[in-house]
Amino acid sequence: MRVIEKELSIQIEGRRLNAFEWSPAIPRDAAATILLFHDSIGSVELWRDFPRKLASATGLTVIAYDRLGFGRSDAFPGKLPFTFIHDEGALVTPQICDALGLGSIVALGHSVGGGMAIASAAALGERCLGVIAMSAQSYVEVITLDGVREAKKSFSKPGQLERLARYHGDKAGWALSAWIDTWLDPAYGGWTLDAELAQVQCPVLIIHGDTDEYGTTEHARRIHERVGGLSRLVILEKCGHIPHREQAERVMGEIKDFIQQLRF
C-alpha cells in the first residue's frame, strides 16, 4: 500500500513540537489515528521505517512526534519532572489531539513511551480506542536501573554524545540527563504506573521481550493484571528492548491483528 509522508508542526503553549504523518493513499473510512510515543532518548527519526510500515499494514494514518526537549522539537524549560510520564499523557496528548483535529486515536508507545500511551488512554477515556505498549516500564525495577547505569557508562565514551546529537542537536546533553538522572535518582524509586493502569478501559496489547535489558517480563505482567480494560499479553522469546526491530514481522502481525479487532 502506498503511503504519503508529511511533516507537521504542532504548537503547544507557545512551544513547537516536530511531527510527521504517514497516511495510506487510500485510508480506511472513519478510522482512528495511531499516535506514537518514543522512548527515553528517542525521536521521530529513530522510529526509522516503522511508522510507514505500520500505516501500510493497518490502513490507518500514523503520527509520530518529538517530545519537548527531544529531536527537532523546542527545548524543554528546565529539569524533567518525575511526573513526566503522567504529564505527557494527561497534559500533552489531549493538546496534540486538539491541535491536529484528531478524533479517536490508538496510542502506541515504546519503553517510557508505552507508559505515556497508557497515561494518554487514562486521560482521553473513550477517545482512545486502544493501547499498544511495547517494552513498557510499569515500576522502578533493579534490572532497569542496571541497564541505565550501563548506558551511562557507554555514553561517557568519546564520540557517544556527538552520536546522540545527530538526532537531538544541542539538546542531546539535556535529553541524556533527562533519562539517566531521572531513573537513577533515589527519589524516583517509588514510581509506578498503577494509577494510570486502573483508569484505562480500552483494549490493551502488551508486547515484551524475555531478554529485555531494561526490564523483566514482570513489567508486562503487571500491566496485564492491573489495566482496567481487556488486555492481551505477548512475551517474545529471545527478544530484547526493541521488539519492533528485533522481531519486526511478528510484532507487526500482532499489532495488525489487535487493530483489526478494535471498534472504529
Would you state the cell numbers that stand for residue 83, as one nine-digit string?
Answer: 511526573
d(CA 207, CA 210) in angstroms, rounded, equals 10
Does the pLDDT of residue 27 top 90, yes or no?
no
Angle at 115 between CA 105 and CA 140, to 5 degrees: 175
Domains of the chain: 3-260 (3.40.50.1820)
State the chain's mean pLDDT as an integer: 96
Does the pLDDT of residue 30 top 70, yes or no?
no
How high is the pLDDT of residue 133?
98
Using alpha carbons, select from 131, 106, 116, 113 the residue that is nearest to residue 46. 113
Q: Which of 25 and 233 is assigned the larger pLDDT?
A: 233
Cα dihedral 163, 169, 171, 176, rounded to 10, equals: -20
Do 109 and 37 meet the contact criterion of CB atoms below 8 Å apart?
yes
How high is the pLDDT of residue 25?
83
Using alpha carbons, select from 14, 13, 12, 16 the residue that is nearest to residue 74. 16
Using alpha carbons, select from 90, 99, 85, 84 the residue that is nearest to residue 128. 90
What band does 29 get if pLDDT is binned at 50, 70 and 90? low
Does the pLDDT of residue 264 top 90, yes or no?
no
Does the pLDDT of residue 28 top 80, yes or no?
no
Percent of the chain surpassing pLDDT 70: 99
The string of pLDDT tens digits covering residues 239-263 is 999 999 999 999 999 999 999 999 7
* Mean pLDDT, range 132-137, rounded to an integer: 98
Percent of the chain surpassing pLDDT 90: 95
How high is the pLDDT of residue 263?
75
The amino acid that residue 229 corresponds to is: G
Cα dihedral 108, 109, 113, 116, rounded to 10, equals: 30
* Mean pLDDT, range 82-103, rounded to an integer: 97
What band does 26 get if pLDDT is binned at 50, 70 and 90? confident
The string of pLDDT tens digits covering residues 32-86 is 999 999 999 999 999 999 999 999 999 999 999 999 999 999 999 999 999 999 9
Reported as half-sphere exposure (CB side, CA atoms, 13 A), residue 160 has a value of 10
Do 22 and 61 meet the contact criterion of CB atoms below 8 Å apart?
yes
Task: List C-alpha distances in Å: 125 to 15, 29, 168, 196.
Answer: 26, 22, 32, 11
**Predicted model pTM:** 0.97
How high is the pLDDT of residue 93?
98
The string of pLDDT tens digits covering residues 166-214 is 999 999 999 999 999 999 999 999 999 999 999 999 999 999 999 999 9
* Mean pLDDT, range 223-229, rounded to an integer: 96
